[in-house]
Copies of this chain bind each other. A is one copy, B any other.
Amino acid sequence: MTRKVTIALDVMGGDHGPAAVVPAALATLERDESVSFMLVGLREILEQARRDSKDSYGSRLKYVVATEVVGMDDLPADALRHKKNSSLRVIIEQVKTRAADACVSSGNTGALMATARYVLKTLPGIDRPAIISAVPTLKGRSFMLDLGANVGCTAEHLLQFALMGSVVAEDILDIKRASVGLLNIGQEAIKGNDVVREAGELLSRSGLNYVGFIEGDAVFSGKANVVVSDGFVGNVALKTMEGVASLIASYLRQEFSKSGLRKLQGLAASPALNALRHRLDARRYNGASLVGLNGVVIKSHGGADKLAFETAINTAIVEARKGVPVQIGKLIEDQPPECIRA
């Protein structure tokens, strides 16, 4: 039997707030009977959500009132200190008390990370939680981390990222022994900087399925299930990916609207172009996990619409069912302590 899970959702976060979160929750309730939600937000927003749900889901849909909202521009430290009853914080508290098995927010990334770290604490053996997300590849999808939570990492941090990334990739891709690569500027052992070279040494001895250095282009050929880097580098790579995909989409639109004839040709080509659009649709990759914490916390993109938020919810469901934090904790325990101490 599928394990029942409860997911706490920040109804206030992101550009679309309840307009994305509530329909995504209702669609998931409709599709998966083993899932329950706690909607967390301002009272009047929850009252509207209750009307939208037509009270159809009984105890599978609960409402928890929060009195504050963390803004996208709030500094993480301010949100943590001064907004103790924000929807962003309350969803994390639900995970802390085990009232929920996971939480999802499209809100302020820095505030979410700072609050999650403060409330849930990091797992033993993990110095820094990281942000991990799926990216499209020729073979399907791979996972990249860290995507911006940590700049200036040590080799031990990168090893911890690799351990966490392996668990997430194995659980979400449903594979065994995920392959792990280190993002570098060449494949030879002499390339890169000291931290990356030392991390390569640690990974070789870690028992993980380490496949060596991976260059930026090889990420997208799917050479490794997990690609590990410092958060600065990973963030630049992720955003570069988004920028190039969007550039090519613009070029395609321009080329197919240059003349009446081109427009007709674009119409003829639309099945393939739509399939391409679907495969590259960022909404299908939405939902980055904050890993290394005592609990499942999923960051949805600030611009997430209903479909994108559903994807993030699905990631939360899988990670909650499989118990990603517990698995990470066990894998860390199995490591020789001198390897993972930062």
Contacts and interface: CB of A to CB of B under 8 A. Distances in A.
**Of A235, A242, A243, which is in contact with the most chain B CB atoms at under 10 Å from its CB?**
A243
**Of A185, A242, A258, A276, which is in contact with the most chain B CB atoms at under 10 Å from its CB?**
A185
A272 B75 CA distance: 46
A236 B237 contact: yes
Given A185-B232, A193-B151, A255-B275, A237 B266 contact: no
Contact of A247 (B148, B220, B237, B272): B220
Interface in A258-272: 258, 262, 265-266, 268-269, 271-272
A240 B255 contact: no
This protein's copies in its complex: 2
Interface stretch (A29-37, A154-162, A210-218, A316-324): A210-218
A268 to B, nearest CB: 4
A237 B237 CA distance: 6
A192 B148 CA distance: 9
A268 B265 contact: yes
B240 A216 contact: yes
Given A151-B192, A252-B272, A220 B244 contact: yes
A250 interface: yes
Please tell me the size bucket of the interface on A.
35 or more
Interface in A63-79: 75
Given A216-B239, A239-B217, A244-B244, A268 B271 contact: no
Given A185-B151, A216-B242, A239-B217, A193 B232 contact: yes
Given A216-B237, A237-B237, A272 B243 contact: no
B240 A237 contact: yes
A244 B255 contact: no
A75 to B, nearest CB: 8
A251 interface: yes
Contacts of A255: 272-273, 275-276, 279
A26 interface: no
Contacts of A262: 271-272
Given A219-B243, A252-B276, 16 more contacts: A75-B190, A136-B247, A138-B247, A185-B235, A193-B232, A216-B238, A217-B240, A217-B242, A220-B243, A229-B236, A237-B240, A248-B248, A251-B276, A262-B271, A265-B269, A265-B271
Interface of A: 75, 136-138, 148, 151-152, 183, 185-186, 190, 192-193, 215-221, 229, 231-233, 235-248, 250-252, 255-256, 258, 262, 265-266, 268-269, 271-273, 275-276, 279-280
